[in-house]
Amino acid sequence: MASDAQKTVPVIPGGVYVVEKEIGKGSFAVVYRGHFARDAHRQIAIKAVSRSKLKNRKLLENLEVEIAILKKIKHPHIVGLVDCERTGTDFYLIMEYCALGDLTFLIKKRKELVKNHPLLRKVFEKYPPPNENRNGLHSAFILNYLQQLACSLKFLRSKNLVHRDIKPQNLLLSTPLLDYTDPASFHKLGYIGIYNLPILKIADFGFARFLPSSSLAETLCGSPLYMAPEILNYQKYNAKADLWSVGTVLYEMCCGHPPFKASNHLELFKKIKRANNVINFPEYFTTGDTQLDEDLKSLICQLLTFDPQDRTSFDTFFDNKLVNMDLSCYELVDDISVELENRSKDIRESNMFISEYLPTAHKHDHRTALPQQQITPTAAEVAAKGNVKTNPTKPVRTPSLLATDKRMVRPTVQHKTQSTNSDLMLEKEYVVIEKKTVEINELADEIAHIGTADTATTAINVNNAVRGSPVANRPLERTPKVQRSPKHAASRRASSVDRRVSISSLNPSNALSRALGIASTRLFGTTGGHSGIPDSLAKSPHEQAPRSLLSAQLFQDLTENIVLKTEEAQQGEPSAENGIIKDRDTIVHFLELLAAKAFVVYSYAEVKFAQIVPLQGELNKRLSTGSCAVEEEECDDTIDDGLRNRANGQRRSNSRSSSNLMQLNTDLVMNEGSALVCKEAITLYLKSLELLGYSMQITSNWWYNSNENVCSLRLNLLVQWVRERFNECLEKAEFLRLKLFECDNEGMGKAETVHTTEAQDHQPTQEDKDNEVFVEKLLYDRALEISKSAAKMELNGDNLNGCELSYATSIWMLQTALDNESSASLLDEQDRKVIKKYINSIRNRLQSLRQKLSRNS
Ligand SMILES: Nc1ncnc2c1ncn2[C@@H]1O[C@H](COP(=O)(O)OP(=O)(O)OP(=O)(O)O)[C@@H](O)[C@H]1O
């Protein structure tokens, strides 16, 4: 790992500012400490955002919004923007520097800070937590930050601003007692609260925008754990959403963790709803000395009210007794105050950021210094990655994946392990994933929404293209173009400025129903009977049952037809200049190619998944004949009988809602064998995610960079398919990670046990290496296995169409294994030669089979 000193820092043109050192990382930015070139004592924070991370116009807009807002507002409890520099490659926001980091440090790192931070040691001595073993803060801190937060929100309201991303990470703390020494001078400067405590300032206006109090926004943003339920439920929301977030922050300051945790939006929403406005506080707050103040509890409950209409209003909140309480009783007497002042000055002199006071091991745990040694991208990183073009197949090694698993673990597990580091990582990664998912879903929605179809001709072509049994070399027809109506053409680009993220797209089942809606209303018109499509598909998207079998069939057939186009595997990818494809036909070709690869990898992941996860009733039924990659795989001998029995005969529905996952398998028990299968499944899902994420990146580049306002139906279907698979793979990969982590916690799965969160510097042993799972190897072995069994079947004259699909599948698998040509690839030249030879020989078999099939037909 690069040491701090080795890390390069950017140089800001103009010479006015000097960048010193990285101090934090967000989803889209790196934050550095720095100073004015002319005055080394004038410290600043520099938020660097690479333009390459903002290819999506929405992100760029968010940043420009942040700049515009921050420039306009000046408030003692809001982090000030000093300046903004733009270069061809980056944005640099020069901001007020907050040496005590963000509120998460106080909440989650208190113990380490007490040991190592001279100022905070003294502060915590004077304001000890209610429970030494928990992460909650002293009520002086809570009331102080409540008042400071309320004060800044009042200011924002006066400017018609909603922050929309209030969370502890965005509440920064500056060193107290610098440039003032007493309560009077403190208040004169406009500050409120307790003068000798660190000062809270709201930061990160990336999501904020001007929003009149009565208007409703349609933008999904913020961090899920702190998001209001109406946002999680994709409803319109108003400024009161910020009040919910204030409630979550207050709760976290009291209890050390957010009030509700879950693995995804949907689960989180359900939990909040199920709570039925009953907010649970830890037991130690309900009895004895550590009882939580009733007024504070009541305020938290008012803020955490499910229905925004019943939630406390801003006026009532601002009038709340605690918000207006005189806190001078908490102020420290003179001699201690002088001591604190001296320590504050020392902090400024030492020029050390809060994380630098933490022990090295812990520093790297904090998301402000993400571990650099990851070999494998996490699901989030894979998902967030847009530059896969040159290297779409980094070998996916599970052990490192496991090392990062700890950052993705789910709340229940964190609770069990008391891993606050995981908490921090969870929140961070969660947001990254959500952002990428949001982007993908948004693009798919935007494409889904355009224009009206020429329904008469489209219906015929689509039927031809995607239905019926796979026939050798049958070309897929390009469907007629879907023309954007003038109204939509005009509104498309404006809509994304206005509606940065589409709410309706985020629910996977919603995604499918929307895609089906398109399929029904656009392809088949409203008279399904005419096109041979059942009425269920001909209804409007609102009326129809969203998961009709035929619809899943449509997607499945679409994919299988693509998989059968094996000649494309040979031709390789069409050229994309700087990741940008200009014409529509090439983009369709490109997507088909990536979809074929993603599909075979995904299908194999599904096989593994079915071996691990017990399926229930209806869900077991497969809706399609499926690719041969989904054919049952021999169970590993090491998997226990129960699992084997469950795996046998279990067939997954490709369209099964993955949101059922959490409910599905509460009784899932893992042993070493199943842990290995689990790792393999994760590896395959990650690979699939990489390919799907790349597909959407390329589509996004094309869509936003071209002046196209027309989208072919085929492209539209492909995009919907990619989106559907992306959401599914992401959820399943995360689900399996959780399972592995639980297994790890219970001491099962040898490979996992060594990769504890604390073992950041752990050197892999030979055993670790032996347990590594490589995607290339998995695909290679599987491809040979299915092509061999297809050859046997072919010799017996069994299921020739199935054999065709098997050969095609194995060619795509081998091609995918070959994709990564970088030095990071597991394969050397010799391996590549062997794989290419296999591809040629399977291709020859396929050709002769196809001739046989066409003679038979
Ligand atoms: N002005 C600042 N002074 C000191 N530290 C800062 C400052 N701004 C940000 N940081 C640190 O850098 C971290 C990352 O900041 P950033 O605003 O990029 O991301 P974030 O809000 O945590 O994440 P996201 O943008 O994904 O919501 C913060 O959590 C904080 O610890």
Is the CB of residue 70 below 6 angstroms from any atom belonging to ligand 1? no
Is the CB of residue 24 below 6 angstroms from any atom belonging to ligand 1? yes
Which residue has better confidence, 327 or 86?
Answer: 327
Is the CB of residue 442 below 6 angstroms from any atom belonging to ligand 1? no
Tens-digit pLDDT profile for residues 58-70: 667 777 777 877 7
Tens-digit pLDDT profile for residues 704-746: 777 666 667 777 788 888 888 888 888 788 778 777 766 655 5
Contact 104, 97 (CB under 8 A): no
CATH code at position 791: 1.20.58
Residue 49 is encoded by which pair of tokens? 């955002």
pLDDT computed for residue 55 by the predictor: 55
The answer to whether position 849 is within a domain reads yes
pLDDT computed for residue 645 by the predictor: 35
Contact 814, 778 (CB under 8 A): no
Q: Which entry of 4, 83, 102, 165 is annotated as an active-site residue?
A: 165
The answer to whether position 569 is within a domain reads no
Ligand 1, atom 11, lies closest to the CA of 24
Tens-digit pLDDT profile for residues 110-126: 999 999 999 999 999 99
Is the CB of residue 59 below 6 angstroms from any atom belonging to ligand 1? no
Comparing 220-234, 405-419, 718-732, 788-802, which segment has the lowest mean pLDDT? 405-419
Mean pLDDT (whole number) for 461-475: 28
Residue 30 φ/ψ, nearest 5 degrees: -115, 135
555: pLDDT confidence band, cut at 50, 70 and 90? low
Sequence-separated (6 or more) residues with CB below 8 Å from residue 564: 470, 472, 473, 474, 804, 805, 808
Mean pLDDT (whole number) for 304-324: 96
Residue 246 is encoded by which pair of tokens? 């204030």
The dihedral sign for the CA sequence 769, 774, 776, 777? positive
Tens-digit pLDDT profile for residues 814-826: 999 988 766 566 7
Domain stops at, among 96, 120, 145: 96
The answer to whether position 204 is within a domain reads yes
Among 22, 23, 83, 113, residue to substitute to test ligand 1 (most atoms within 8 Å of Cβ): 23
| 825 in the same domain as 725 | no
**557 a catalytic residue:** no
Ligand 1, atom 9, lies closest to the CA of 31
Mean pLDDT (whole number) for 580-592: 77
What are the angstrom distances between the C-alpha of 648 and each of 222, 598, 621, 631?
A: 43, 25, 13, 11
pLDDT computed for residue 519 by the predictor: 30
pLDDT computed for residue 563 by the predictor: 84
The answer to whether position 810 is within a domain reads yes
What are the angstrom distances between the C-alpha of 770 and each of 14, 765, 766, 774?
A: 52, 9, 6, 11
Residue 299 is encoded by which pair of tokens? 């305020």
| 176 in the same domain as 256 | yes
Q: Which atom of ligand 1 is nearest to the CA of 97?
A: 3
The answer to whether position 729 is within a domain reads yes
Complex-level ipTM: 0.97
The answer to whether position 187 is within a domain reads yes
Comparing 33-47, 461-475, 644-658, which segment has the lowest mean pLDDT? 461-475
Which residue has better confidence, 563 or 404?
Answer: 563
Instruction: Report how far residue 574's alpha carbon sits from residue 27's, in angstroms, rounded to the nearest whole number.
Output: 31
Residue 783 has pLDDT above 70, yes or no: yes
Ligand 1, atom 17, lies closest to the CA of 204
pLDDT computed for residue 766 by the predictor: 59
Q: Rounded mean pLDDT of the chain?
A: 69
| 54 in the same domain as 203 | no
Mean pLDDT (whole number) for 117-142: 91
Is the CB of residue 355 below 6 angstroms from any atom belonging to ligand 1? no
pLDDT computed for residue 422 by the predictor: 36
Which residue has better confidence, 809 or 589?
Answer: 809
Tens-digit pLDDT profile for residues 245-264: 999 999 999 999 999 987 66
Ligand 1, atom 5, lies closest to the CA of 101
| 115 in the same domain as 90 | no
Is the CB of residue 29 below 6 angstroms from any atom belonging to ligand 1? yes
CATH code at position 174: 1.10.510.10
Is the CB of residue 203 below 6 angstroms from any atom belonging to ligand 1? yes
DSSP label at 397?
Answer: -
Residue 383 has pLDDT above 60, yes or no: no
Tell me how far the alpha carbon of residue 46 lies from the centroid of ligand 1, in angstroms: 10
What are the angstrom distances between the C-alpha of 633 and each of 432, 435, 608?
A: 34, 35, 8
| 106 in the same domain as 73 | no
pLDDT computed for residue 438 by the predictor: 62
Domain stops at, among 292, 321, 356: 356
Nearest residue to 569 (alpha-carbon basis) of 779, 833, 781, 817: 817
329: pLDDT confidence band, cut at 50, 70 and 90? very high
Nearest residue to 698 (alpha-carbon basis) of 596, 565, 575: 575
| 302 in the same domain as 157 | yes
Contact 24, 368 (CB under 8 A): yes
362: pLDDT confidence band, cut at 50, 70 and 90? very low
Contact 471, 853 (CB under 8 A): yes
pLDDT computed for residue 767 by the predictor: 60
pLDDT computed for residue 611 by the predictor: 84
With H, G, I as helix, E, B as strand and everything else as coil, classify residue 233.
coil
Comparing 219-223, 526-530, 563-567, which segment has the lowest mean pLDDT? 526-530
Q: Which atom of ligand 1 is nearest to the CA of 96?
A: 1
pLDDT computed for residue 202 by the predictor: 95
Tell me how far the alpha carbon of residue 757 lies from the centroid of ligand 1, in angstroms: 23
Sequence-separated (6 or more) residues with CB below 8 Å from residue 48: 10, 29, 30, 31, 32, 90, 91, 92
Residue 134, Ramachandran bin (φ over 0: left; ψ between -120 and 50: alpha; else beta) = beta
146: pLDDT confidence band, cut at 50, 70 and 90? very high
| 68 in the same domain as 109 | no
Residue 278 is encoded by which pair of tokens? 């009953």
Q: What angle do CA 514, 576, 572 make, to 5 degrees?
A: 90
Contact 458, 483 (CB under 8 A): no
Tell me how far the alpha carbon of residue 24 lies from the centroid of ligand 1, in angstroms: 6
629: pLDDT confidence band, cut at 50, 70 and 90? very low
Tell me: is residue 47 an annotated ligand-binding position: yes
57: pLDDT confidence band, cut at 50, 70 and 90? low
| 200 in the same domain as 64 | no
- Can you spell out the DSSP letters for 476-536? PPPPPEEEPPHHHHHHHHHHHHHSSS-STT-SHHHHHHHHHHIIIIIISTT-GGGGT--HH
Mean pLDDT (whole number) for 181-193: 93
| 156 in the same domain as 129 | yes
Compute the radius of gyration of the chain from its Cα atoms. Answer: 28
| 105 in the same domain as 88 | no
Which residue has better confidence, 469 or 49?
Answer: 49
Among 82, 104, 169, residue to substitute to test ligand 1 (most atoms within 8 Å of Cβ): 169
Q: Which atom of ligand 1 is nearest to the CA of 99?
A: 4
Instruction: Mark 753-762 as b/e (b = at least 16 C-beta within 10 Å).
Output: ebbbbeebee
Instruction: Report how far residue 233's alpha carbon sits from residue 788's, in angstroms, rounded to the nearest whole number.
Output: 49
52: pLDDT confidence band, cut at 50, 70 and 90? confident
Tens-digit pLDDT profile for residues 666-690: 456 666 677 888 889 988 998 998 8
Residue ranges making up the domain that contains 250: 101-356
pLDDT computed for residue 272 by the predictor: 94
Which residue has better confidence, 714 or 175?
Answer: 175
Q: Which atom of ligand 1 is nearest to the CA of 95?
A: 1
The answer to whether position 618 is within a domain reads no
| 233 in the same domain as 329 | yes
DSSP label at 39?
Answer: E
Nearest residue to 502 (alpha-carbon basis) of 489, 513, 511: 511
Tens-digit pLDDT profile for residues 68-95: 777 888 999 999 999 989 888 888 999 9
Is the CB of residue 101 below 6 angstroms from any atom belonging to ligand 1? yes
The answer to whether position 89 is within a domain reads yes
Instruction: Report how far residue 485's alpha carbon sits from residue 82's, in angstroms, rounded to the nearest whole number.
Output: 45
pLDDT computed for residue 251 by the predictor: 96
Domain stops at, among 336, 356, 376: 356
| Number of domains, the chain | 4
Instruction: Report how far residue 502's alpha carbon sits from residue 218's, in angstroms, rounded to the nearest whole number.
Output: 7
| 47 in the same domain as 88 | yes
Tell me how far the alpha carbon of residue 103 lies from the centroid of ligand 1, in angstroms: 11
Is the CB of residue 26 below 6 angstroms from any atom belonging to ligand 1? yes
Tell me how far the alpha carbon of residue 565 lies from the centroid of ligand 1, in angstroms: 47
Among 102, 174, 347, 426, residue to substitute to test ligand 1 (most atoms within 8 Å of Cβ): 102
pLDDT computed for residue 33 by the predictor: 96
Residue 363 has pLDDT above 90, yes or no: no
Is the CB of residue 312 below 6 angstroms from any atom belonging to ligand 1? no
pLDDT computed for residue 771 by the predictor: 64
